[in-house]
Amino acid sequence: MSHVTQEQGPVANEPILSVEDLSVVYETNEDPVRAVRDVSLEIQPGETLGIAGESGSGKSTLSLALLRYLAGSGRVTSGDVRYRDQSILELSEKELSSLRGNDIAHVPQNPKTSLNPALRVGTQITETIRAHRDVSKAEAREQTYDVMQEVNIPDPQSNFDQYPHELSGGQQQRVLIALALACQPQFLILDEPTTGLDMTTQTKILDLIESLIEQRNTSVMLISHNLGVLAQIADRVGIMYAGEIIERGTTTEIFRSPANPYTQGLLASLPQQDKRKLKPIPGQIGDLRSIPDGCIFADRCDLAEEACRTGEIGDEKVTADESHYVKCRRWETALEDPIGEGLVQKSKTRSSSSETLLSVRDLRKYFDEESIIDRFFGSEPPVKAVDGVSFDVNRSETLAIVGESGCGKSTLGSCLLDLLPPTGGAVTYRGREVTEMTPTEKADFRSECQIVFQNPHSSLNPRKTVGQSIKRPLEMFTEMDETEQRARIAELLNDVGLDPSYADDHPSDLSGGEKQRVAIARAFSVNPSLVVLDEPVSSLDVSVQASILNLLVDLQEEYGTSYVFISHDLSVVNYLSDRVAVMYLGAIAEIGSVDTVFEPPYHPYTRALLSSTPSTDPTDDAPRIHLEGDVPSPRNPPSGCNFHTRCPQKIGDVCECDDPPLERVEDSRDDHQIACHLDETAMELDIDVQVDGDDTENSSAS
C-alpha cells in the first residue's frame, strides 16, 4: 500500500503537477478525433494518482500530452499543464529537453518497442545520464550501475552489456524504469508498467515502484487497466472514459463506493472469489470524431434516461469533504443500487464427465538437443521446456495451466496438439496415441482439437477477411457447400457476439477484443471437442475480458467442449476452471481441483503466486510472498527440487539433492497431488506463521 493514508487523502499542498481543461485532438482526413477533452487534475508531492479506463479512453494520449510527446497529427488545442507553477506548454525546445528526464520522466507501455534493440541496455542508460548531467563516461557508467542496482537488475556489471532481447520481460521493464530514474526525477509517468507480465514479476515491479516513492518522495501518475494494481498502490484514482475524467476520488472511495455506472461496470467485469457471474459493459467506446450531446457514456449505461442525453454534464460533489467527484446525473441512483450487486453465482449446468478425453504421460519437450558429436565437443545441454508432465483432461472439463513466464506453459499447449513434436512421453486422444495416428486419424484429430493463441493480432492473416479466416477450417474439415459455409460463419459470429457483417472486414478494422472473438469463432467452427486457450484474455480490458470469459462459459455449455486454459491470472483461472495444474520450470508442482489447490494452497510456489494476485480491495493488507530471483534457466535446471533456489521454506540438503515426486495428498477431496518435501501439516503451519509475521523457518519434512 502506498504511503499516503487513503481514507484521509493526501495532505493539502502545492501540487507538483496541475492540468487545467486540457484538450487534445488528432487530425484525420475526416473530422478530428477529440481524444482528450477538458481534463483537469492535480498531483501532490509524493502522491500516486491512478488513471483507469478502457482502451481508447485517452489515458496514453493524456500522458504523452503532459510532456509534449504527441507526434504527427496529435496536438493540444486548449488548456494548460503546469509543473511547479511553470507552464510546460510554453517552454522552449531547450527548456523542455532539460525538463524531460531531469524533473519528469515517462515510462512508456511496451519495453520491447521502447528500448533500442541495437544498443546495449547500459549504453542506453549512460547516454541518458550524459545528456542531462555534466559527467565523464566513467562516472556515467558508475551511476548506471547504481540505478540498475536500485531497480533490482541482478549483476549490473554483467547486464550492462546485454542487449534488450537477451533480458526477460520483467528485466526489460526494469531497464525502462532505470532509464527514467537515471537523473532522479521528482515526477514519474508510468504507462501500463505491468501489462503482459506474470504475477510474480508484476509484484516485483509494483514493490519497486512503492519503494522508490517511499525513498525519494516521488510523485507518480500510474496508468493501468488492471484495477487491482491501482487499488493496491494509488492514493487517488481518476476514471477516464472517451477522453473525459468521469469520476475521481480517493482509492477507497472509488473502489468501495463508486458513484459512476461506468466505474461500477468496470468492477462488475472483474472475477471475484465468490465466482459471481460477470457483467461486461455492453458495446464499446463510440466514435470520438462525433461527440454526442449530454453524457458520453449514455448509450452504454443501464441507468441512462432522456435527461442524460442533453446539455453539459458537470462535476457533482459526492462527499462533503470534496474529495470525490463524479460526472453523472444518475449517481445517487447508482450509489443506492450499484451495478453488480445481486449478480448470481456462476453455475455450470453441464458437469464435466469422468470420461478421459486427453491423456498426457511423462511428456517431454527439449530444444537444442545434443548429438553424440555435440557432447564430445562440450556443447551446451538442451533446453528442457517441458520435463515429465502427466495429467488427464475429461470431457466438458476446464483444466488450467498456471505459472510464471518461462515455465513451459505455451510449449506444453503446442505439444498437446502436436504443433511441436514431443521429445518423449505420450499424448493420447480418445485412447489413440497422437504420434501413432494414421493420416485419416490425424485429420480427425486436427478438426476436433483447436487452439486460440495469445496474440490475435498475429494469429489472423491480415490479408484475409474475417469470413475467409473462419471459412478455412470449414473447407479443410467439412463437406459444406458455399451456402452452408456462409450460414455457419454468420452463426459463429453471432455466437461470439459479433454482427455477421463483420465477415467482410479485415483484422485491421477490428479492436483487440473483436479479433480475439474472431479467433475463438474460428476455433469453434468445426465443433471441437478440445480447445487449448493460450492466454486468451491477458492483454484485454476488463470489460472485454469479461465478455470473452462469459463467451467461453456459454460455448462450453453449448458444445460440451473441454478446455486447456493457459494463464498467469489466477483470478481468471479461479472463475473459469474446474481443475488447475501449477507448472514450474517444465514440471507440475501441484494439481487438483481449483478449490483444493487455492484454499489453502499447499505448495510454496502456489502460495507465492496467489499472494501476488492484486486485490481490488484497497484495505487488503495481506502479506505478499516475495520470490527471490527469476525462474532458473531450463537449460541448466537446479538439482533436487527445481524450486529450491527460490523457495522460502527450503529444507537444506533434502530439497537440494532429492527431486520430490508428484504424490496424492492424503484425505484430499479429489485427486489433489503435490511435489514437495514439506508435509501437509508443515505447510499449513507455515501459512499461519507467515500471516502472523513470524519468520521462523519451518523444518518439517515428509
Q: Is the pLDDT of residue 420 over 80?
A: yes
Helix (H, G, I), strand (E, B) or coil at 87: strand
| Residues whose CB is less than 8 angstroms from the CB of residue 248 and which lie 6 or more positions away in sequence, other chains included | 41, 236, 237, 238, 239, 254, 324, 325
Mean model confidence pLDDT for the chain: 87
C-alpha cell at 437: 495416428
Query: Residue 696's pLDDT band (boundaries 50, 70, 90)?
Result: very low
Q: Which of 354, 395, 356 is nearest to 560 (CA)?
A: 395
Query: Residue 452's pLDDT band (boundaries 50, 70, 90)?
Result: very high
Three-state SS string across 6-43, please?
CCCCCCCCCCCEEEEEEEEEECCCCCCEEEEEEEEEEE
How far apart are the C-alpha atoms of 451 and 363, rounded to whole Å? 19
Render pLDDT for 22-76 as a digit per residue (tens, 0 to 9): 999 999 888 899 999 999 999 999 999 999 998 889 999 999 999 999 978 899 9
How far apart are the C-alpha atoms of 208 and 595, rounded to whole Å? 32
| Residues whose CB is less than 8 angstroms from the CB of residue 211 and which lie 6 or more positions away in sequence, other chains included | none
How far apart are the C-alpha atoms of 34 and 31, rounded to whole Å? 9
Element (H, E) at 317: strand 316-317
- The answer to whether 193 touches 124, Cβ cutoff 8 Å, is no
Beta bridge partners of 401: 566, 581
> What is the greatest pairwise CA distance in the chain?
81
How far apart are the C-alpha atoms of 194 and 108, rounded to whole Å? 11
Question: Mean of the pLDDT values across residues 474-478?
Answer: 92
How far apart are the C-alpha atoms of 284 and 241, rounded to whole Å? 11
How far apart are the C-alpha atoms of 205 and 189, rounded to whole Å? 14
Q: Which of 545, 539, 460 is nearest to 507 (CA)?
A: 460
- The answer to whether 553 touches 387, Cβ cutoff 8 Å, is no
Measure the N-to-C terminal CA separation of the chain; round to a whole number of Å: 37
The angle, 0 to 180 degrees and rounded to 10, between the axes of the packed helices 169-181 and 121-132 is 10
How far apart are the C-alpha atoms of 66 and 58, rounded to whole Å? 12
- The answer to whether 260 touches 301, Cβ cutoff 8 Å, is no
Q: Is the pLDDT of residue 373 over 80?
A: no
Range from 53-62, 342-351, 475-484, 631-640 carrying the lowest mean pLDDT: 342-351
pTM equals 0.85
User: Residue 5's pLDDT is what?
Assistant: 41
CA dihedral for 649, 651, 655, 660, sign (positive or negative): negative
In percent, the amount of the chain with pLDDT more than 70 equals 91
C-alpha cell at 441: 486419424
How far apart are the C-alpha atoms of 416 and 412, rounded to whole Å? 6
How far apart are the C-alpha atoms of 674 and 232, rounded to whole Å? 31
The alpha carbon of 229 is separated from its chain's Cα centroid by a whole number of angstroms, namely: 10
User: Residue 551's pLDDT is what?
Assistant: 86
Helix (H, G, I), strand (E, B) or coil at 582: strand
- The answer to whether 562 touches 296, Cβ cutoff 8 Å, is no
The alpha carbon of 553 is separated from its chain's Cα centroid by a whole number of angstroms, namely: 20
What are the CA-CA distances from residue 666 to residues 1, 335, 348 (Å)?
38, 48, 28
Give the CA count within 13 Å in the CB-facing half-sphere of 544. 22
